[in-house]
Every structure is written in structure tokens, then in C-alpha cells.
Amino acid sequence: MSETMLRYSGNPLILLFAITMMVMPAHAIVTRHDTGYSGFVASASDYPAVFPLYVQANGFKVCVASLIHEQWALTAAHCTEETPLAATLGKAQHFAVSIAGEEMLVDQFVLHPSWPGHPGSRFNHAQIDLALLRLKSPVRSVSPLPLYEASDELGQVAMFLGWGHTGTGRTGLSSNDGRLRFAKNRVNLAGDQLQFVFDSPEGPKSLAIAFEGIPGLGDSGGPAIIRAKDIDWLAGVAVGELEKAPGSPTGLYGASVVYERVSRHVDWINQVINADK
């Protein structure tokens, strides 16, 4: 695992720069080819606690965050650099986001203590890619996503959400129309992180489930949601896709994607939030 390259689900411009440096930040939703794009389209009003972290001038959305407390959101640590968030706060300014149609201001972020400050060229499970974002004022109109605290994620079906690039398992990433999409996948590995494999629906031994898919370019920080007891729980935070070979295309059948495992970091999250009270 520690010697596997990881493509981060972030800004495509930064991805292109990173490739020349042999650092592979990569990772809207990439879906089964046999279902049709429209079947995976989601309504943002159904998931008000999930929001894009940054919207470029061309309308492309970069990175995703989830509201987990009335004044705190959770995203991937590398998203603080792949968006203007860190640079904006570094100038003693506030960073604006839109949550359920309401403009909110981020006034602080806290990186996980095991995050080295930037993604490495190779995946290291000891580097925890998480960041907490504090809002200047509480969000009163949206119910936060509760954190999944159980350790039984293996084999469970999770739902992904994102606005980034999309495509199918046959084509890989192919377009970006800015629409919110969802996909589902089964937890294939639950260790320090959660891993999911993009299974093809073809063949008699296919393990693909209905609405099988993975996150695409632009979806870093997005949620993996496990539904239990009729409640949506935040179980994972999108990090990226494990690269099979340098320069290989992303989003194809057989791809493995990594999410930070929220249940492993509940104590840290609560410690940061409670210290702010």
C-alpha cells in the first residue's frame, strides 16, 4: 500500500502540473456504462449538508465538503491547497462557500495532525488526508451529517456524491457538466482507510451492484455515506484513485479508490470541535 501511487480527486489544472512532477493528484461521479447518465443525477436539495468547496469562473466545482456540526465541515486536507481556501485565510480574509443556497464564511481550518502539509507522490496510509473547516457563524437551516462511529464498514454499501468530472467505466473521465451525481459501491477494504473497487457489470461473476460507480476528478473531500437505521451517516471522505501505472487513465473498471475512514478519526474531530466551544 505505501508504495502505491495515488491520484487525488482535485483540481484538473493542479493535476496536470503534478503529473510533470511525478506526483499524481487525480480523482462528479464515474458510473456503469449500462445504466445511463440520467439515472445517477441527484438533487442537491436532498443532500443540503454536502456542498462544493470552490466554484471556478467557468462553473467547474473543485472539491466537496460535508457539514458535520452547525459550525464545522469536513473535507480532504489537500483541498485546502487545491482551492484558494488556504491562500485566502492566509491573507486574514474569509473564504466564502454556499451551503443550501446560503453564503457562509470559513474563518479557520484545522489539518489532521498526521497530514504532512501536501500529498506525496506515493500513497501512504499513515498520512491522514482530512481537514476541518470552521464557519464564522452557525448554519441553522441544515441538519449536519452524523459521523459513522461503528467499525463494521467492510462489505457495506456506501453512496458517493460529487459535482466533478463524469464518464463511464468503459470510457473513464469524459465530461464535466457541473451536475450533482451519486453512485454506490461496496466497501472492499476497511483498514486505516476505506477502499472501493469499480466492478464491471459484465460477465456471470460480476460483483457490480445497482448504481455502481466511483468519484471522479473534482470530487476530493466528498462523502461516502452509509445508511443505517434510516439515517445517512458520514463514513468516508474522498481522497483519490490508486494508480495502476504512471500516466494510466482514471475512472475505468477495475479502479480502486480511497476514502479516509471517518470512524478512525471521530475522537480527533470531536476534540477539535469541543475545544472551540
The CA distance from 78 to 207, in Å, is 32
Report the pLDDT value the prediction gives residue 6, as an integer from 0 to 100: 54
d(CA 148, CA 206): 29
Q: How far is CA 126 from CA 33, 67, 166, 256, 260, in A?
A: 35, 25, 29, 18, 11
Q: What CATH code is assigned to 1-277? A: 2.40.10.120
| Residues contacting residue 85 through CB under 8 Å, at least 6 positions apart | 53, 54, 79, 95, 106, 109, 133
- The domains of the chain are located at 1-277
The predicted pLDDT at position 1 comes to 35
Closest residue by Cα to residue 29 from 193, 223, 200 = 223
Give average pLDDT by consecutive 10-residue segment, the chain, 277 residues. 46 30 46 81 94 92 96 97 96 97 97 89 86 98 97 98 86 82 96 96 92 87 96 96 78 93 98 92
The per-residue pLDDT for 19 is: 27
The predicted pLDDT at position 121 comes to: 66
